[in-house]
Amino acid sequence: MRQSSLVVVANRLPIDDNQAPDGACEWRRSPGGLVSALHPLLRHTPATWVGWAGGTGPAPALPDVDGVRMHTVALSSEDLRDHYEGFANATLWPLYHDSVEQPQHHRRWWEAYQRVNQRFAEATAEVAEPGGVVWVQDYHLQLVPGLLRALRPDLRIGFFLHVPFPPPELFMQLPRRAELLRGMLGADLVGFQRVQAAHNFAQLVTRVLELPATDRRIGIDDRVVRIGAFPVSIDTAEMAALADRPDVAARAHRLRQDLGDPRQVVLSVDRMDYTKGIEQRLKAYSELLASGDVKVRDTVLVQVAMPSRERVGQYQILRERIEREVGRINGEFGRVGEPAIHYLTQPFDRAELAALYRVADVMAVTPLRDGMNLVAKEYVAARVDDTGALLLSEFAGTAAELSQAYLVNPHDLEGLKQGLRAALRADPADTTQRMRAMRAHLHQHDIRAWARSYLRALDEGGGLISRLTST
């Protein structure tokens, strides 16, 4: 088995099994913020990515992706049901997102979570070079740092949580809270998106494990675990260059024509998830149509909602509700050839997404809770002419950085409508000033800056880090 000095461990690999129209298997980039963040970073780095390829049964052998070795971990159909759909996405995901849907608890799910985390730890132990750096990602794998340390105490282990880490009152509901905290403390550095999350973690460690903890350091056994906030970002320059390409600009122009040349285009791009506030946004938009504040010929809404975790009950119900509501709104307010909402559930390649961002006068990103939300950052990066208004939820991690956005509370319907109206009617000089400031911020705080700050803290000046982040 070939070994690497840097190993990234994430539930999902950056490519996904996809059925081509002719029935053949093809690989395409997986959706979601984690892959969007890490994929550009690792390109052409001699690293290994340990993860799941999206199906069940034996692990497929995957080709390297842009020089990064893919090491597949197999999930059986029981693992998929009880680990991925169960404990990860029906217990932890809702709980970590303010319990906007009810988290469910089943003992069988916890057993699967332990089993799958053990398998990931063993696979990682095989491919990490002696003394290497391992970077474990996200809520699916919270036990891996502890399990891996037991197998390979020689490694430097980092853990980063892409989703929010909840306040103690919520986390305390978890029957296996102590084990989950102890698992994360197997790392040398535990990173979160926001300072508040690190604070929540330190409080919980003190309360549940009775360990000495501050918001920066925790003592466990004879080790010190450091904790901190490292807000994740995007490849800003890459998105800007893509959006600036003549073919992308031409595509944006054509898209506008295809939309009927409206005065204004409002865009939302989400994974179809109940945390994203899609229903609340549709309700606000529908009320603006009903009151005549928004007129169909003048303004169109393009809602991209990529289906996600489709076998989980809460996601199935959500999709049905959204599609019913889109149908109702189009039935009530659309005209022949002029729907009020253009609703798309397809995956798009990066160039098409960039063209969509370019065509959007207003980008509505209004999650009820989101660890970060990279779509908001991608939109800003793509606005190379400094135009466009970003309507952004206060409850997205992004809001802590992009304070020049039009900030709204998505739970407040009137506030949401007011925010949309304000963004639609904004003075172009004002939006340009805001956009310029946000773009400047993202050029400085891009994905490389994120990786640099995290890995420097983890590796304490090791040579690996400068190699990885200088490209």
Which of 59, 220, 237, 306 is the binder for ligand ADP (CB under 6 A)? 306
User: Should residue 155 be labelled a site residue for ligand ADP when binding is judged by CB under 6 A?
Assistant: no
Complex with ligand ADP: residue 345 or 471, whichever CB lies closer: 345
The reply to whether 162 belongs to the active site is yes
Q: Does 375 bind ligand ADP (CB under 6 A)?
A: yes
- Closer residue to ligand ADP, CB minimum distance, 345 or 444: 345
For residues 381 and 8, what is the distance between their CA atoms, to the nearest angstrom? 26
Binding mask 331-360 for ligand ADP (x = CB under 6 A): ----------------xx----x-------
Amino acid identity for residue 435 in this structure: M
Please give the structure tokens belonging to residue 329.
């709104």
Residues 313, 344, 290: CA angle, nearest 5 degrees: 90
Dihedral pair phi/psi, residue 161, rounded to 5°: -100, 120
Instruction: Kindly write out the interface string for residues 222-261 of this chain, putting x where it contacts ligand G6P by CB under 6 A and - elsewhere.
Output: ----------------------------------------
- Tell me if residue 59 falls in helix, strand or coil: coil
Closest CB to ligand ADP among 132 and 371? 371
Rounded CA gap, 93 and 329, in Å? 30
Copy the structure tokens of residue 171. Answer: 């986390």
**105 counts as catalytic:** no
Both tokens assigned to 246 = 């003549």
**Interatomic CA distance for residues 427 and 435, integer angstroms:** 12
How far from 252 is each of 37, 112, 302, 353, 433, CA to CA, in Å? 24, 46, 13, 10, 23
Strand order in the sheet with 299-306: 341-344, 299-306, 264-271, 362-365, 389-393, 406-408
382 binds ligand ADP (CB under 6 A): no
Which of ligand ADP, ligand G6P, none does residue 372 bind (CB under 5 to 8 Å by kind)?
ligand ADP
Strand, coil or helix: what is 47? strand
- Specify whether the CB–CB gap between 136 and 148 falls below 8 A: yes
Residues 226-285 contacting ligand ADP, CB under 6 A:
269, 271
**Binding pattern for the stretch 2-41 against ligand G6P, x by CB under 6 A and - elsewhere:** ----------x------------------xxxx-------
Q: Is 338 in contact with 261 (CB distance < 8 Å)?
A: no
CB of 318 to ligand G6P, least distance (A): 14
Size of the site for ligand G6P (CB under 6 A): 10
At 307 the three-state DSSP class reads: coil
Q: How far is CA 202 from the centre of its chain?
A: 23
Marked catalytic residue, from 83, 140, 162, 342: 162
Classify the C-alpha dihedral 6-9-12-17 as positive or negative.
positive
Q: Does 308 bind ligand G6P (CB under 6 A)?
A: yes
Judged by CB, which is closer to ligand ADP: 5, or 268?
Answer: 268
Nearer residue to ligand ADP within complex by CB, 163 or 289: 163
Report DSSP state, residue 185.
T
Smallest distance from ligand ADP to CB 232, Å: 8
Q: In this structure, what token pair is assigned to residue 92?
A: 């932890």
Q: Segment 143-202, which members bind ligand G6P (CB under 6 A)?
A: 162-163
Of 18, 31, 59, 400, the residue at the interface with ligand ADP (CB under 6 A) is: 31
**Nearest distance in Å: CB 329, ligand G6P:** 27
Residue 79 vs 138, nearer CB to ligand G6P: 138
**Candidates 235, 270, 273, 370; catalytic one:** 370
Identity of the residue, 125 or 306, whose beta carbon is nearer to ligand ADP in the bound complex: 306
Minimum distance of ligand ADP from residue 390's CB (angstroms): 13
Q: Which does 12 bind (CB under 5 to 8 A by kind): ligand G6P, ligand ADP, none?
A: ligand G6P
DSSP letter at 222 equals: T
Neighbours of 182 (CB within 10 A): 19
Catalytic residues: 162, 370
Give the interface with ligand G6P as residue ranges (CB under 6 A).
12, 31-34, 138, 162-163, 308-309
